[in-house]
Structure 1
Amino acid sequence: MRNKKKQLLFGCLAALVLSAGAFPAFAQDQDSFSTNMESSSQNSVPVAVDITAVYGRNAKPGSFVPIKVSIYGQTEAPFSGTLTVSTLESDNDEGTEEYEYSYQVEVGPAETKTMEFYVPLGQKSGTIHLTLKDGKKKTMGETSMEFDVSKDENRLFAGVLENKSGSLSWIDGIGLNYGMLTTRVVEIPGEDFPEDSRGFSMFDVLLINGYDCRTLNDLQKEAVLTWVENGGTLLIGTGRDRDKTLDILGEAEPKVSLRDPEVLLVGMGTEYTKNSPEDSEVRVTYTEPVISGAKERMVTDGTPLLKTMKYGKGTIGVYGVSLSDLSGFAKKNPSFASYFLGEIFNEDELNTIYYYSQGGDADYWNAYNLVSGGNGERIPNLAIYGISVAGYLVIVGPGLYLLLKKRGINRYYGTAVFIFSAASCVVIWGMGFKTRFTSEFCTTATILDASGDSAGEMTFLNVRTPDSSGFTVDLPTDYRVTPLTRSARYDMNQLEDYPKKRQASIGIRKEADQTVLWSRKSKAFDSRFFLLEREKDLGGWKCGGGLCCVGWDDHGVCGEQASCDA
């Protein structure tokens, strides 16, 4: 599969760039996704930028899009600037707003630097806009990338890592769950295999077939296992490729062992018999997986071709054969692909995939349930307020009048009421001081998935303001920050055109020493949800399982907020 590429050449001819407003339009067909901007004077071009979408045009709303950015320094002066990516998200009122992600980029003279970014694709559009600015915030160039998202077709995405391109093409375009879902196979280039679990977020299943996973590094294997732990489905073909593929399991590999290989003639079922019984038979190299507590699936002639086990929230499945051994049979019998996929997912799982095919927002609703409230210490004491109001009415009514009349100065009753009412207003205002918000405030809920001396930390963050002003929140730089927005499936217009004509409402800016969340404006007390993730050192505390801590911070700096006891 060809990668989609966009090439940007930025130079000192800024006037030409600004007058154009954007790079030339790129080809819209599936195979071509590139553009060039030529400069008449190559000596004046400070940098060249090459942007590649790892999975081509394939994407799912609400998932991450892995992009690789290569910057080439072409002058004697170093270049330092900011790459900004803009997406279109849904807001809390069935409208839209623009989110902006900023990354610092720099390159020295005659230097080439390649970076990988994971960009959250907006819930409301498959288009992203990219802008490069120099250190003086001057726009050097901008362009757009449009991904293939559809509101008419619900897709089951299957990521494939294989040694021979097209060997699993027979599972592409298959209708499942009474035609409600259509499979889409996305081949993952081995050289671009993600080192972050966010790189697999759009996939419903990941298949490993024939690829030598011993060439993958520990970060790539860990990323796969993290994705599975969070609910992904990983399937591994073995058989004659058993020494290559099983290594994808990394630290989970000891959970699986394989018996000695043998060559078998396996009958796939009488429904595939056309002219003779041999039509339904496939010769395979079979190595039976041995997995404690595994479920057996695809049992043919008493031979389980697939065994599955739970791993965290997800599933790991190991085939006793190489999936390439089944390719010839599957191409002759198209109905086999539906059976093959039906053995992986049951009806409830397919319904869940269908529900989230137009945008994932499970974490949005988790945040909504966990951090939509506030700090109980800021709730006014209604009893004290009630006593104060009752006392005011007694005093300002008959109390003052009778007191002044007794002293013969009841002519000053109006003045006394005015003075006492003013004093009472000051008292009431002072009583509400600790419940009053003057700037942005944060509510957090932190979950620690702990084991030994370290833990995976997942924090749900809600940022609100007491008025329509914007906010700024500073976070430690080791957090991975993901904005959480509502899926567009609830809106009348699920997908919308996204021309670059507006200012961003929400931004995430990655800096060298911190990550900054910001908003230009916000509705009073309107929630903005974010997911913060990182690995945390427990500092000597020993925790044997998951631990949930909840904390609040009423300031603009959200750092080490959650606390937990040993």
Structure 2
Amino acid sequence: MRIFPRNIKRVLKSSLFGLILAAAMTVQAFGAAGETAQDMGRDTAKDTAREADREAPQDTLPEEGLTASPITMDVVYGYKNIAKSGRFLPLRVDLKNTADRAFTGTLCVLAMESDLQGYSMDLDYDVYRYEYPVEIPASGSVTEMLSVSLGARVDQMYVRLLDESGNQVGQKRLKLNLNMDTAELFIGVLSDDPEKLLYLNGVGINYSTLRTRSIEMTAATLPSSELGLDQLDVLLISDFDTGRLSGQQIQAVWDWVQKGGVLLIGTGARGSETLRAFAGDILEEPVPQPDQYVINMGVEYAVDGPEGASIPLTCTDVLLKGGSEVLSSDELSVLSSVSAGKGIVAVSMYDFADIGEFCQQNISYIYNLFATLLGESRINSLSSAMDGGNYNQYWSVQSLINTGNLTKLPKVGLYVTLAVAYVVLAGPGLYFFMKHRGMLRYYMPSVGILSLCCTGMVLLMGMTTRFTGPFFTYASIQDADSEGVSETTFINMRAPYNKPYFVNLNQDYTLYPLTGNVYYNMTPVPKFTGEEPPAITIHYGKDGTSIKADNVGAFNSKFFMMEKHTSNQEGVGFTGDINCFDGKVTGTLTNNYSKEVENVAILLYNQMMYVGHMDPGETLDLDDMKMVYGATNFGYAMAEQITGASRYKEDKDIGDAAYVGALERTNLLSFYMSNYLSGYHSEARVVAFSKDKDETGFLKSSGYETYGSTLLTSSIDVNYEKDGMIYQSAMQKQPNVLSGEYYAQNNTMYGMSPVMLEYYLGNNIEVEKLNFYHLSDEVAKSMRYYYTVPFSGNMYFYNYNTGSYDSFDTNVTEYVREDLEPYLSPGNTLTVKYVYDATGDYTWNIMLPVLTVTGRSK
């Protein structure tokens, strides 16, 4: 017995088939949209500490089983086989050819890197292979200087030599004994008397969680590339003529400092010689002649009386451009520093060799020097077991290049409409149409034809959203000055399939891999035999650099950093005449680019002026523009004011191209501010965005899909003087915390307990006026999303005449000299107590005001 008639069964079968096909199309559309949206929405940038491990002296082990070869190979890594993991490792490879014919081949280095796989972010280890072409003359030798990323806690590398046919003719296994217990501060020492600086070795910092290790260097052994210096944390130059360094070495030092290195220079009797290579860039005035001074090293080191800590020294008193005091002796700035990119340049009055005897007896002076110079944040980063050169950047740049092109998002509604239409047509629509005309025998073939047509429509609709090969998301920072243009580009390389693919890159760029790790990863490192197939092969050829990816997974990201330095022959960038005095900025700004730029802004220390759009060659008057006060170390809150992302606080639509564009620019500008403007800086930084979204300059060919943002920056000197008066920040030197919980890097206090801070107003001026600047309303509103609010409550100044604290109105933001006289110490310090209003809705991350001081030069 039939439950349903035959024709009805046909309709049901066709409808069921249509439902299945429609569901498949809908799932495909939603899956594609989810995948792209997941890329677009992932914007968490995590700041992690870098892993600081060290390596003990070891032997270079030859591999067994190799046939006799006329080529001999010797490898030295690090600095005389001294190195730490998680950094780029310099390799010196000496190759000698004993045959009577030239050798042409490839030098290969195999290294293992931890990495996070796919969207699950599972930790795995990949093998990276680096290839360098090499030619050895007949009966001759060559030396190759390489720099290869050394993964955290990875204790070996393999160096191989291949001939033109790809046959292995030599191999060395580098076995490193890494010390996982104690992080170390690597100090490169460049001095004509290095034995007098041995006291710098083995000093415990931060309760001995970080221990110094000095590494002797000479003019001949100092690397001539920034990567060659990557193993160092501090480069100390004292009692040395820097004029003996080559131009490449000097540029390498500057590049290294810009990346986060600390350059520490001792002057003393040879100040002009020691500063010869750097004076023009860091000094406000020419190097003076050395003189005799009595330096008070600190009352805590006195034995028989306060004078017991004073020692006579030959010193050179120099003045840094925008420098801040680190250590002082009465009214003298013994050690001053200035920020340079992500790094620090510091200069002392004395020669570090001259204080050796004192430091050997008072080793805590070295601890105090480095603790004050480096700061808490940098020391904690170096002390952390996670400290590693690449891993910080991996988490920082992830939000920059894990986005995507909105045009690649499928139109889900269109797919759903097509699916519903197909079900209606293939089911009752076509059935009743055929039945009405007596053509039911053609019903099933018609359903098949309709299915093919709908399938074809689905394929056609997906043509614009389907990736057919490797594609790139990038974030580029181009810094232009009168001499050159420096470009740093971060790229996210992906492919829509799990099969090998090649990409050729522009040979003008230097390529660095960026690999990831998890916090406090203590999982065992897998065995590395050198026989594992490489996931990434980077070939540095004469005609360019190529990347081969093998078995990395479909849509799995591989991050790289690319750098290029060129001369500024076209004169691009921003120039101007900028004056800053009494909280107002005047002058002009000129756009020297041959294209329109957007979101132009001028960044000063904790201040920002929004300019907006500028046409090519346009010059703007800055006199009537509004100044916004913020916090440089909360770069995101200031960046979203510039890019317009703050307007989308309540309406974050991932499908809105304007919102996504503002978010991308905010992430990039925030990254720039956090990494290049985190400390005090006296110059103005002009930032703007290019309108181009598909630049392909880093690729050798333009046949790939690219999407990203380009940030344009320039540095302009600022005049802070007017009518014989000097205007400067009172935050150049971090306030001395007398009590309470205060985080100097962010200028924030925590909790209900009062905070007492001693501000150093500078010994170079007679204070005439003091200003307190609070967060501007628009920035304060953005800061609330990061659980940070401006200070409100009571403020007290310490009165040196009465020995008590006097209350002051927090609404008063300006105090003249007559108001300040009882509260200024002989050393030009002001002690302020802040008591937060407990009725507020926050008791943490309370932003304190920024102090500026105006006065006449002494």
Q: Is the 8 A contact 2:426 2:447 kept in 1?
A: yes
Cα distance in structure 2, aligned partners of 1:283 and 1:564? 53
Letter in 2 for 1:71: L
Q: May I ask how many residue pairs the two structures share in their alignment? A: 534
Give the Cα separation in 2 of the matches to 1:253 and 1:364.
31
Say yes or no: does 1:468 pair with 2:492.
no
Amino acid corresponding to residue 254 of structure 2 in structure 1: L
Question: How far off its partner does 1:384 sit?
Answer: 2.5
Q: Equivalent residues in 2 for 1:185-224 (5 A)? A: 185-224=214-253
Amino acid at match of 1:50: D
Q: How many Å separate the matches in 2 of 1:512 and 1:243?
A: 41
CA deviations 1:168-196 (Å, max 9, x no partner) are 22222222223322222222232121111
Q: In structure 1, what residue type is equivalent to 2:123?
A: E
Does 1:386 pair with 2:410? no
Is the contact between residue 62 and residue 171 of structure 2 (CA under 8 Å) also seen in structure 1? Answer: no
Q: C-alpha separation between the residues in 2 aligned to 1:497 and 1:141?
A: 22
Is contact 1:467–1:522 with CA below 8 Å preserved after alignment? no
Out of 406, 413, 420, the position equivalent to 1:376 is 406
1:94 aligned onto 2:118: no
Alpha-carbon spacing, 1:548–1:174, altered in 2? closer, same or farther (3 Å): farther
- Partner letter of residue 228 of structure 1? V
Counterpart residue type for residue 564 of structure 2: R
1:433-468 CA deviation, whole Å, 9 max, x = no partner? 222223322222222112247411111111112222
Cα pair 2:85 2:152 within 8 Å, conserved: yes
Select which of 431, 446, 449 maps to 2:461: 431
Deviates more, 1:54-63 or 1:129-138: 54-63
Which residue is 2:71 aligned to? 47
Where does the alignment leave 5 or more consecutive residues of structure 1 unmatched? 1-28
Larger radius of gyration: 2
1:565 to 1:484, Cα distance in 2 relative to 1, 3 A: closer
**Separation in 2 of the partners of 1:125 and 1:507?**
18
Q: Tell me the residue number matched to 1:258.
A: 287
TM-score (norm 1): 0.86
Q: How far does residue 497 in structure 1 lie from its aligned partner after superposition?
A: 4.8
Q: Distance in 2 between matches of 1:416 and 1:370?
A: 50
Match of 1:507 in 2: 537
What's 2:839 paired with? none
**Partner residue of 1:227?**
256
1:485 and 2:485 aligned: no
CA 1:335–1:540 in structure 2 vs 1: closer, same or farther (change >3 Å)?
closer
Q: Which runs of 5+ in 2 are unaligned?
A: 1-54, 117-121, 575-685, 713-858
Alpha-carbon spacing, 1:185–1:421, altered in 2? closer, same or farther (3 Å): same
Say if 1:447 and 1:548, in contact at 8 Å, map to a contact too. no
Tell me the CA shift for residue 473 of structure 1.
0.8
SS at match of 2:123: coil
The residue number in structure 2 matching 1:178 is 207
For 1:248-287, what aligned pairs fall within 5 Å after superposition? 248-249=277-278, 252-255=281-284, 257-274=286-303, 279-287=308-316
Q: Note closer, same or farther for the CA distance 1:36–1:183 as it changes in structure 2 (3 Å cut).
A: same
| Alpha carbons 1:225, 1:249 under 8 Å: kept | no
CA contact (8 A) 1:443 1:551 kept: no
Give 1:563 deviation, angstroms: 9.0
- Compute the displacement of 1:316 (Å): 1.1
Instruction: Quote the offset at 1:55 in angstroms.
Output: 1.0
Partner of 1:73: 97
Structure-2 separation of matches of 1:350 and 1:490: 17
Residue of structure 2 equivalent to 1:346: 375
Relative to the length of structure 2, the TM-score reads: 0.58
How many angstroms apart in 2 are the aligned matches of 1:163 and 1:119? 30
Measured in 2, the distance between the counterparts of 1:162 and 1:129 equals: 34
Look up the match of 1:23: none
Which residues of 2 match residues 317-336 of structure 1 at below 5 A?
317-336=346-365
2:475–2:710 CA contact under 8 A, matched in 1: no
- Measure the CA separation in 1 of the matches of 2:301 and 2:273: 31
Q: By how many angstroms is 1:91 displaced?
A: 2.0
Q: Is the 8 A contact 1:123 1:485 kept in 2?
A: no
Partner SS state of residue 113, structure 2: strand
Q: Is the 1:61–1:358 Cα contact (8 Å) retained in structure 2?
A: no
**Mean alpha-carbon deviation: is it higher for 515-524 or for 449-458?**
449-458
Question: Are 2:266 and 2:349, in contact at CA under 8 Å, matched by a contact in 1?
Answer: yes
Give the direction of change, closer, same or farther, for the CA distance of 1:365–1:251 in structure 2 (3 Å limit): farther
Alignment of 1:30-179 (within 5 A): 30=56, 33=59, 46-92=70-116, 93-179=122-208
**Residues 305-324 of structure 1 correspond to what in structure 2 (within 5 A)?**
305-324=334-353
1:362-394 deviation line (CA, Å, top 9, x unaligned): 321233212212222222122322322232222
Residues 472 and 517 in structure 1, CA contact (< 8 A), matched pair in contact too:
yes
From the superposition, tell whether residues 495 and 262 of structure 1 become closer, same or farther in structure 2 (CA, over 3 Å). Answer: farther
The CA distance in 1 between the partners of 2:314 and 2:298, in whole Å, is 18
Quick one: distance in 2 between partners of 1:355 and 1:565?
31
Letter in structure 2 aligned against 1:67: L
In structure 1, give the amino acid aligned to 2:478.
Answer: L
SS in 2 for 1:192: coil
Note the alpha carbon deviations across 1:410-440, whole angstroms, 9 max, x for none.
Answer: 3433332222112211111121122222332
1:399 pairs, out of 411, 423, 429, with 429
Structure 1 residues 488, 500: CA separation in 2 closer, same or farther (over 3 Å shift)? farther
Distance 1:392 1:35, change over 3 A: closer
Structure 2 contact 301–362 (Cα < 8 Å) conserved: yes
Code of the residue aligned with 2:235 in structure 1: it is L
Supply the AA of the counterpart residue of 2:337: T
1:289: Cα distance to partner? 1.1
Per-residue deviation at 1:490?
4.5
Q: Give the aligned partner of residue 597 of structure 2.
A: none
Query: Counterpart of 2:32?
Result: none
Tell me the distance in 1 between the aligned counterparts of 2:381 and 2:317.
31
Q: Is the 8 A contact 2:258 2:340 kept in 1?
A: yes
Bigger shift: 336-345 or 324-333?
Answer: 336-345
What do the CA deviations read for 1:473-502 (whole angstroms, capped 9, x no partner)?
Answer: 101222111110013544332655533231
CA contact (8 A) 1:88 1:123 kept: no
Superposition pairs for residues 503-542 of structure 1, below 5 Å?
503-536=533-566, 540=570, 542=572
Amino acid at match of 1:69: V
More moved, 299-308 vs 209-218: 299-308
Higher deviation after alignment, 103-112 or 352-361? 352-361
Distance in 2 of aligned mates of 1:541 and 1:386: 54
8 Å CA contact 1:259, 1:290 repeated in 2:
no
CA distances 1:213-272 after superposition (whole Å, capped 9, x unpaired): 111011111111122222222110001121321124275155454333212232323332
Cα distance in structure 2, aligned partners of 1:403 and 1:552: 50
Match of 1:296 in 2: 325
- Give 1:205 deviation, angstroms: 1.8
Distance 1:564 1:347 in 2: 32
What's the secondary structure of 2:104's corresponding residue?
strand
- Secondary structure of the residue aligned to 1:91 is strand
Name the amino acid aligned to 1:465.
A
Which shifted more, 251-260 or 475-484? 251-260
Q: CA deviation at 1:332?
A: 1.7
Please say if residues 455 and 536 of structure 1, whose CA atoms lie closer than 8 Å, have aligned partners that are also in contact: yes
TM-aligned CA distance change 1:119 to 1:322, over 3 Å? same
Distance 1:355 1:123 in 2: 12
Tell me if the contact between 2:58 and 2:175 (Cα under 8 Å) persists in the aligned partners: no
SS of 1:346 mapped into structure 2: helix
Q: 1:56 to 1:299 in 2, by over 3 A?
A: same
CA-to-aligned-CA distance 1:273-311 (integer Å, 9 cap, x gap)? 345767533221011111243212221243321111222
CA separation of 1:255 and 1:563: change in aligned 2, threshold 3 A = same
